[in-house]
Amino acid sequence: MSNEEVQKFIHEGFVRIDNAFSREMAEEARKILWRDTGCDPNDRSTWTRPVVRLGGYSDPPFRDAANTPVLREAFDRLVGKGRWLPRGGLGTFPVRFPSDNDPGDTGWHVDASFPGGDPNDFMSYRVNVESKGRALLMLFLFSDTSERDAPTRIRVGSHFEVARILEPAGAEGLGFMEIAGQLDRTSHCPEVLAIGEAGTVYLCHPFLVHAAQPHRGSEPKFMAQPPLIPKEEMKLHREAGDYSPVEEAIRIAIGLAS
């Protein structure tokens, strides 16, 4: 990963890595995912839902895709060497099918990262200004994804505004819906689409505002959206000053760095 890409990540909130894993890995993974959707890839009459949600997978194609040398090097550059935990697999997968029906999950949001109450209740999860529990948001494309194939929408630079929203809440942070209710403050941010061929990975700042959209293409979209988990909690004040790009972006947003 070049210094220019690192700077892009800091200021725009994401970086796209082409050929982060092989098409062969993607094809093997899709075979497993197709099986678990309960749908027939050769019979469109079985594609009855706009989105089918699948859990985590530790099978070799998923585990191998998450641990390629190019990705491990990128994790070191963005999060810090020794500061992240290797993934044993990938998930979750919202498999999106071509449909005229509303998938019901297309609102702008920031992914929450630690439980505020019941760990089994997703709606209780929270985010704080130090991004407790999440080092990166990652988008792994397991199928070719064009503008019509329900690519994730991204608000460029929105991570800065989210950091400013979170700062007054301190370590307790804000709940998923509390943040969502303030994301109109990011509506001025330019919008881009997370498109690319199978094997493309978008590494995103954990505060990046993003959203799903309906599928208007012809073939299902397969994408994993796992977090990268920190090995140690991120810090906005380090005596050595060895801040990761994830931390540096937050520091810039709240006025601790320029």
Q: Over pLDDT 70: what percentage of the chain? A: 98
Q: Is residue 76 part of a domain?
A: yes
Cα distances (angstroms) measured from residue 204 to each of 97, 136, 141: 24, 6, 14
pLDDT in tens, 83-119: 999 999 998 899 999 999 999 999 999 999 999 877 6
Q: Is residue 81 part of a domain?
A: yes
pTM: 0.96
CATH code at 88?
A: 2.60.120.620
Q: Is residue 71 part of a domain?
A: yes
Residue 119 has a pLDDT of 66
At 252, phi and psi to the nearest 5? Answer: -60, -45
- In which domain, by residue range, is 22 found? 3-253
Residue 69 has a pLDDT of 98
Q: Is residue 258 part of a domain?
A: no
* Number of domains present in the structure of the chain: 1
Q: Is residue 228 part of a domain?
A: yes
pLDDT at 242 exceeding the cut of 70: yes
- Cα–Cα distance between 247 and 22 in angstroms, integer? 30
Q: Is residue 80 part of a domain?
A: yes
Per DSSP, 50 falls in state S
Q: Is residue 90 part of a domain?
A: yes
The encoded tokens of residue 82 equal 């020794």
pLDDT at 175 exceeding the cut of 90: yes
Q: Is residue 148 part of a domain?
A: yes
| E-strand stretches of the chain | 14-17, 51-54, 93-96, 114-115, 125-127, 136-141, 153-155, 174-175, 191-193, 201-204, 210-211, 223-224, 227-228
